[in-house]
Every structure is written in C-alpha cells, then in structure tokens.
Amino acid sequence: MNALDHILNADSVAIIGASRDETKRGYQAIVTLKKSGFEGGIYPVNPRERRILGLRCYASVEEILEPVDLALITTPAHTVPSLLTACGLKGISGAVIIAGGFGEMGGRGKRLEREIIETASAHGVRLVGPNTSGIINVESGLNLVGIPDVPGGDIALLTQSGNIALHLITEAKLRSHKGFSYYIGVGNESDIHFDEYLEFFKNDEKTRAILMYVEGLRDGRTFLQQVYKTSREKPIILLKSGRSSTGQKSAGSHTGALAGISEVARTSFERAGIIYIEHPDQLFPVAETLSSLPPIKNKQVAILADGGGHATIASDLLTDLGVEIPTLSEATQARLQKILPHNAAVSNPVDVAGGTDSDPEIFARCARILLEDPSIGGLLIAGLFGGYAIRFSESLKFIEEDAAHQMGKLVRSSGKPIILQSLYNSVKPHSLELLRYYGIPVYESLDIATTCIGQLSRYGQYLSTYEHKTNFQFNWGEKARPKGADIIHNAQEEGRRYLFEHEAKEILRIHGAPVSQEQLAKTADDAVEMAREIDGSVVLKIVSPDILHKTDAGGVRLNLENEDQIRHAFHRIIDNAREYKPRAVIKGCLVTSMKKKGVEVIIGTKVDRQFGPVVMFGIGGILVEVVHDVSFRVLPISQTAATAMIDEIKSAPILNGFRGSPALDKNALSELLLIVSEVIESYPEIEEMDLNPVMVHDHGIDIADARIILKKETEAASQNP
C-alpha cells in the first residue's frame, strides 16, 4: 500500500480544527463525511470542545487511542507545522491542509511552505495541499471537501480550483449519467505533485479517464513522463489556464505555481498523449465521451442529420478539428437510398430530408449501414432525435426508444462510437436516457458534440502512433564522449562560459554531424597550409575569447581564392580585432571552406524552466524573426518527432522544392536534429546551443556557424545524477 493509498483509501480520519460553528470547514467536513456514508473512524480534534455532532472530540491527535490514517487540517497556516509534528508522532501518514497563506502569498508564505514540507518529510507525513479544497473518495464516502452528493463513476478529477471542481461535479449531475471515482484538490502541490496522483489513477481499477484543471506545474518533465505512461491506458483530459499574461498573474496569485503555458508546453502535452482543452465547456463532455466510447481509429466520420443546417454546420466544425468526412462508397449510398426519400443527401453528410418524420427507427437503420462501411470510424447524429414524439406524434415514442436500443447495441458490436446531438436533450426524453445507458453521450450543443467526436479521433490517432513517441526520459551524460567532455572541461578551466565555434563544431562532429574540416591557424603561414586541404574557396574567422560578435569586429573574410588573399586576410583580421578590442586575447583564425548557398535554417536549444531542455527549429531570417514560424520539442526527440518538427512549420514547402527548385535534404536535417538532441543529453554543462545558420542543400547540409553557451558550473553540477 503506497502513500496515496493510505490517504485516498483511509479508514480513519482526524478532523483537526473540528468545530460546532456551522459556517466552519471543521463542522462541514464532519457533516459531509456522515452524509456521504463514510463508515470509517471520524475523530474531531479541538481542545475547546468535548463533543461535536455526537462524536467525542479530542484535545489533540495524541489523545486518540485508535490508529488514524489521515488528518484533515482546517486550522490557519501558522498552526500547521506543529500539528504536522503531532501527526507524525501519532503515526498518521497523510495530511490534507486546507489553509491558504503559503507559497501563493510569496515572502513569509513561501518560507512557511518550506517549513511544512521539511516537517512533514522528517515525520513521514505526506501532504495534500496546502491551499486545497480537499479530497473525495466517492465510493468510500471519504468526502473532505464539503460538496455533497458527488455522483459516483469512473472519472478521476484532479484540479487546482475548488470552484472549477464544483462546476464540473454540478455539470455531471445535471447533464450526464457519469460520475467520479475520486476528486483531489491538489492545491499548491507542495509535497505530492500531479504526477504521483496520475500514477495512482493509472493503477486504480475504478478509474477509466482522468480529468484535470491545472494552473501551474512544479516539475514539468516528471509530469510528462508520468503522463506518457498513463495516457496510453487511460485518457487524460486537461485544461491548463494561465495562457495569457493576465491569466498567468491570476494563476500565480492563486496557487503560487510556475504559470504560463508556452508553445513548448502545449506541444509536449499533446506529444505525451494529453487531450488538451482550451474551453471549459468542453472539459466534462470530453471526459464523459472518452471514458465511455472507443476511440476513432481512422479520423473518418459520418454525419447523419435530419436537417441541412445541422449537417452543414457539423461539417464545418468537424473539418476545423481535423476530422475527415469522406464521401461514402457507392454501395453504402445505394443502401441508404433504399430506405430514404429521393431528395435525401446520401453522400456524407447524410440528410434524411424528412425520411424519418414518420419513422425515427430509420435512424438506427442508417446508423447500421454507416458503421458497416469500413471507411467510417465513427458517427455523429444531429438534429431532433429524441424529440419526434414531442414534435410529431406521441406514438413515435416507442419507435424512438427501440431505435435507441438498436444504436446502443450497435456501438457495442461494431466497436465504433456514436455521439448524438439533440435539440430535445433538456426535455430528457426516455430515448435519450437509454442512449446514455449504453454509453452514448447526448449533447444539446453541436459545438460540444463535434468537439467530442474530434477528441475521440485525436486520441485514436495518438494511440495508433504511440510506439514512435519518446518517453521524456533524459539520461544526462549517458551518451557523452570523452573527447567532447574534454572540450567542455577545457573551456571551463579557461574560465569561459561558452565554446569557440570550432570547439562547438568539433563536439557536433564527434557525435556524427557533417562538419567540414576546420582548423585553428595561429599564423598566416598556418592558414595557408591548412587551406591547401580545402576544396574551393576559403573563409577565415577570428577566434578570441573576448570577441563574440565576429562580424562586428571585422573578424570574418569570405571567398578567399589563393595564397595571397589568405595571407592578406589573416593579417587584416588580426589588425581589425586589435583595433576593435585592444586587450582581446587572440587565439588565431579559424580556416574553413566557403559554404555553398542553400536554404538557411536555424536550430536552437535552451533550458525551459518548466520542462528542461527543449529544441527549436525554423527557417532563417524573417520567417523566424518576424513571422515566428518555428516548431518546438522537449528533448530528447525521436526520428518521428524530428521529422514532424521540420514538416509542421508553415514555411516547410520551401524545403520540399519550391518554385521548381529541387527538394532539399530533409533527411540530413532531421539527423542533425537528432544529433543536437544527443549532444544536449550528453553534456549537462550546456545551457544553450545555436546552429545558425545551417545551409540545407539538395544533398547534404552545412553547419555554417555553431555556438554553445555553458551553464554556471554550480547549475550544471546540480543536474548531474
């Protein structure tokens, strides 16, 4: 039994700060536990009371003679450290801390939060919160939140906002047959982080889907690793707020966590298999759908409607979501035409054109024909179904119910999902309740119904490409080569926080990148000698620890064709450098070949504060700097991810052979991205790497310039295993 088991499946709970005042959490908690049918021990703790709600009240946890699994602490922040000590001494292994006033308030609050973490750790107490609304185990009745009547079910709910949880629970009660296995208000995540909860739910048999509202993450990479392990077995539906700067400010004051979603976060979430949601209206319905229905395997969906308007709008919305609405096969169209009026549309979307007005059972027959078409992976039914008895004739009620039974069984037998949009949903006709009984979600909103189909399709796509994904594991130093390490250590010994261009390129070469021969010439004679080994014209560049911007210092000479030019250029560069920075230490000049012109791309890496090392790719110049047409990935990356990074920028067609020019060597480019990934993983000392530009040709690539910046040595050391 692990720590979270002790907390979430606690048999006994102490209510520290228990109260007789009806407005206090210490009162409400006891009432809610009783109402929720919790059969374990409830131990109110308050030195000023003797009995509360018929239960004996203890002056302190030590006084309780029976063993206690869990403490709910409802007292103010400053009382928490000593209470945790008492809990530890009593052998309580988990505490849920309601009070705010910790990290989210900054300054003194942060110090107090550190203190409770240390105290809890010293006494073997694991913490939920602080600044949490509490936790609920719906089945056992362990309800420490004060939200009564939480519907039971197979969705685990993890949030950083009590009101959002209340919102989702209310929505479930009003609009669905589904409910929750657990609720956890994670609060400030001071001890137990999102990933540990995810691991618990991954292994929990009662849970089929995980619904999350997140404002900030403490450790993005560990989170991604756990998501990656979990999302294949159970869909994770997540809304992350704090995307805007005002939202970030608001989230920061709310949970004190690192906020701010970047492109990095979004792509990494999706890569780890998260169903990423931006609109709160979609959050519960998508969880309901994904916990009830099989995912769509082939992105291809049929629309069945009893009105042109709904069919047309649904087509637009599904297309926006990347779902395909293929024209049906001739055989399928013929089968539909047999049971529908001549003016019906049968190609997809299917519009029954009044053909169901007197017999809504035809919906079920159409649904069967559509799902039997092998090109169709799922079905959206839109319009009035469920309301035929209301709109046309009471006698149609039983026909609609029969159709609902047929469609429910069809989902089970075909393994393909149906989602229904009905204008009559809020009237709650029995036919729609029947559909829900079979796990077919019904929505009044076409926006929501199409979103749910879209997410079933995305999740299906994720699962079908799963094997190619990376697991977000980063093995610092494992692939390092001694020669590469030497280069870095040498620079550090010289007191440099960066590598010279030729050193950076040498590291890339050691890891297999196509780097042309580059040598450091200390004299003009050296340069001439080295140039003999180079095909074509030659470039000289200054090498000095004191000159970073070589061009500004007059330190670069291109297109040198012969001995005289090389000798002359060498002297000019040295002179220019001395003039630019008289005290500069000058190592000499780098002798290299003139690179062929090609499409210039940029590859850069940095360390993201939430997710660790990430890599960026874009096409050089305006496209990166003005249009911001770039792609990001959390490192390390796989071959698939490298290819996707290249293909997903808008300007990718330039690399595919633009205006009749030949296609460029994207293979060599994706290999370079993989090498960059390996280099970053090899040397934890690297803070940033920039390859700018890399010239891409129709055969091969040239790294025209490379820059590596090192971390302060203390930072690097802390990341070594």
Residues 207-236 that bind its own copies (CB under 8 A): 213, 215
Does position 489 interact with its own copies (CB under 8 A)? The reply is no
3-state SS record for 205-273: CCCCEEEEEECCCCCHHHHHHHHHHHHCCCCEEEEECCCCHHHHHHHHHHHCCCCCCCHHHHHHHHHCC
**Stretches 237-245, 472-480, 588-596, 630-638: which one binds its own copies (CB under 8 A)?**
237-245
AA identity, residue 416: K
- Tell me which residues in 448-467 interact with its own copies (CB under 8 A): 448
Report the first-to-last Cα separation within the chain, whole angstroms.
Answer: 28
Those residues with Cβ within 8 angstroms of residue 321's Cβ, 6 or more apart along the chain or in another chain: 450, 451, 453, 454, 457, 458
Pick from 2, 82, 253, 562 the residue near its own copies by CB under 8 A. Answer: 253
Pick from 2, 337, 426, 559 the residue near its own copies by CB under 8 A. Answer: 426
C-alpha Rg value of the chain to the nearest Å: 32
- How many CB atoms neighbour CB 697 within 10 A? 16
DSSP codes of every residue in 555-575: -EEEEE-SHHHHHHHHHHHHH
In angstroms, what CA-CA distances link 615 with 219, 270, 356, 466, 624? 18, 16, 55, 21, 14
Specify the DSSP element, H or E, that contains 175. Answer: helix 162-175
Q: How far is the CB of 231 from its own copies (least distance, A)?
A: 23
Specify which residues 507 forms β-bridges with. none
Pairing of strands 706-710, 378-383: unpaired
Which of helix, strand or coil describes residue 121? helix
Name the residue with tokens 């107090």.
112
Does position 246 interact with its own copies (CB under 8 A)? The reply is yes
CB nearer to its own copies: pick between 57 and 423:
423
- Tell me which residues in 169-188 interact with its own copies (CB under 8 A): 170, 174
CB nearer to its own copies: pick between 24 and 712:
24
Q: How far is the CB of 198 from its own copies (least distance, A)?
A: 20
Q: How far is the CB of 668 from its own copies (least distance, A)?
A: 21
- Tell me which residues in 529-588 interact with its own copies (CB under 8 A): none
In angstroms, what CA-CA distances link 592 with 515, 559, 690? 10, 10, 19
Pick from 101, 477, 514, 700 the residue near its own copies by CB under 8 A. Answer: 101
**Stretches 253-261, 539-547, 588-596, 705-713: which one binds its own copies (CB under 8 A)?**
253-261
Does position 329 interact with its own copies (CB under 8 A)? The reply is no
- How many CB atoms neighbour CB 593 within 10 A? 17
Contact status, residue 651 vs residue 617, Cβ threshold 8 Å: no
CB nearer to its own copies: pick between 14 and 239:
239
**Stretches 197-205, 289-297, 303-311, 708-716: which one binds its own copies (CB under 8 A)?**
303-311
Name the residue with tokens 């027959």.
365
Pick from 181, 292, 315, 431 the residue near its own copies by CB under 8 A. Answer: 315
Pick from 85, 121, 250, 519 the residue near its own copies by CB under 8 A. Answer: 250
**Stretches 38-46, 373-381, 651-659, 690-698: which one binds its own copies (CB under 8 A)?**
651-659
- Tell me which residues in 338-397 interact with its own copies (CB under 8 A): 343, 345, 347-349, 351, 357-358, 383-384, 392-393
CB nearer to its own copies: pick between 136 and 504:
136
Contact status, residue 544 vs residue 591, Cβ threshold 8 Å: no
CB nearer to its own copies: pick between 148 and 415:
148
- Tell me which residues in 29-48 interact with its own copies (CB under 8 A): none
Pick from 62, 320, 561, 715 the residue near its own copies by CB under 8 A. Answer: 320
Q: How far is the CB of 653 from its own copies (least distance, A)?
A: 5
Instruction: Report how many residues bind its own copies under the rule CB under 8 A.
Output: 79
> CA torsion, points 387, 390, 394, 398, in degrees to nearest 10?
20
- Tell me which residues in 7-26 interact with its own copies (CB under 8 A): 23
**Stretches 38-46, 243-251, 662-670, 708-716: which one binds its own copies (CB under 8 A)?**
243-251
- Tell me which residues in 683-712 interact with its own copies (CB under 8 A): none
CB nearer to its own copies: pick between 455 and 592:
455
AA identity, residue 328: L
Does position 676 interact with its own copies (CB under 8 A)? The reply is no
AA identity, residue 680: I
- Tell me which residues in 128-147 interact with its own copies (CB under 8 A): none
- Tell me which residues in 280-299 interact with its own copies (CB under 8 A): 280-281
Pick from 446, 573, 590, 591 the residue near its own copies by CB under 8 A. Answer: 446
Specify which residues 602 forms β-bridges with. 618
Q: How far is the CB of 42 from its own copies (least distance, A)?
A: 23
Which of helix, strand or coil describes residue 379? strand
d(CA 371, CA 44): 57
d(CA 92, CA 55): 20
Name the residue with tokens 């979609």.
282
Does position 423 interact with its own copies (CB under 8 A)? The reply is yes
Contact status, residue 86 vs residue 43, Cβ threshold 8 Å: no
Give me 182's structure tokens. Answer: 């657990």
**Stretches 5-13, 238-246, 453-461, 556-564: which one binds its own copies (CB under 8 A)?**
238-246
CB nearer to its own copies: pick between 70 and 304:
304
Specify which residues 613 forms β-bridges with. 607
d(CA 652, CA 632): 14
- Tell me which residues in 586-645 interact with its own copies (CB under 8 A): 622-623, 625-627, 629
- Tell me which residues in 151-170 interact with its own copies (CB under 8 A): 159-164, 166-167, 170
Contact status, residue 37 vs residue 149, Cβ threshold 8 Å: no
Pairing of strands 588-593, 519-521: antiparallel
Q: How far is the CB of 308 from its own copies (least distance, A)?
A: 3
Does position 653 interact with its own copies (CB under 8 A)? The reply is yes
CB nearer to its own copies: pick between 247 and 545:
247
Does position 312 interact with its own copies (CB under 8 A)? The reply is yes
